[in-house]
């Protein structure tokens, strides 16, 4: 991804959050100079990877396969701090987050507003394949039977609990609009706890064609 594309996506995201009256922490709008000024007091932000996160999963086509998210709170993977995490995400129509599961994280995904959010779900086999068996998930606390791979749709206000080793793919339903998507979970460690069905990249390779407008979590080590 080019830095100019990332910068534009962040500007568009800020407008979308404002439209839905979802307010971000002050540090989400810090400039490079402000990060440098506050660096000494931001250990939790850096150690827990809080902040802007944009990926195309190595696809080179963010609009078809990609995700914009902000980790708002999180704890250390090794324990000894917060035991929970929260994210806010923007999911576009037909923009796929590809099939993956988590070994240790349990999470609730919430449609906070906008369009309809579509999930395709499979239980993992012992060999990490896709089971074709029906199984039960909790949708807003209600036990719901799902067929493997058959779309399950969340309207605004609805949520889905994803247990460990449940493969999930999601996207916003065409014609319904972009989704403001929340996640509440156990501590999140994207470096170790994601098992993608396909081999792909979690963080983008960035072409620095202009200066960063706002820093991503994977920028901190280089720029702060």
Please say whether the beta carbons of 86 and 109 come within 8 A: no
Task: Give pLDDT, residue 79.
Answer: 83
Domain boundaries, the chain: 3-223
Under CATH, what is the fold of the domain 3-223? Jelly Rolls (2.60.120)
Check pLDDT > 90 for residue 117.
Answer: yes
Return the C-alpha torsion angle 27, 33, 35, 38, nearest 10: -100
Res. 67 pLDDT band, cuts 50 70 90: very high
Handedness of CA 126, 130, 131, 137 (dihedral sign): positive
How far, in whole angstroms, is CA 73 from its chain's centroid? 13
Res. 77 pLDDT band, cuts 50 70 90: confident
Residues 6+ apart with CB under 8 A from 6: 54, 204, 206, 212, 213, 216
Check pLDDT > 90 for residue 41.
Answer: yes
């Amino acid at each position: 991804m080019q830095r100019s594309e990332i910068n534009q996506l962040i500007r568009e995201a800020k407008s979308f959050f404002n439209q839905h009256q979802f307010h971000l922490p002050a540090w989400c709008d810090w400039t490079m100079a402000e990060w440098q000024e506050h660096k000494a007091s931001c250990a939790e932000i850096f150690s827990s990877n809080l902040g802007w996160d944009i990926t195309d999963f190595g696809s080179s086509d963010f609009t078809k396969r990609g995700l914009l998210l902000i980790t708002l709170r999180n704890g250390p993977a090794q324990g000894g701090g917060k035991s929970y995490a929260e994210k806010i995400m923007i999911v576009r129509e037909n923009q796929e987050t590809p099939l993956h599961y988590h070994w240790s994280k349990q999470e609730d995904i919430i449609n906070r507003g906008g369009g309809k959010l579509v999930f395709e779900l499979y239980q993992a086999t012992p060999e990490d394949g896709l089971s074709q068996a029906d199984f039960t998930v909790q949708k807003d606390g209600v036990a719901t039977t799902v067929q493997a791979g058959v779309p399950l749709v969340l309207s605004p206000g609805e949520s889905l609990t994803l247990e460990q080793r449940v493969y999930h793919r999601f996207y916003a339903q065409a014609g319904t609009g972009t989704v403001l998507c929340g996640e509440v979970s156990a501590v999140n460690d994207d470096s170790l706890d994601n098992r993608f069905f396909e081999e792909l990249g979690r963080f983008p390779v960035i072409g620095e064609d202009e200066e960063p407008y706002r820093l991503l979590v994977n920028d901190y080590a280089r720029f702060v």
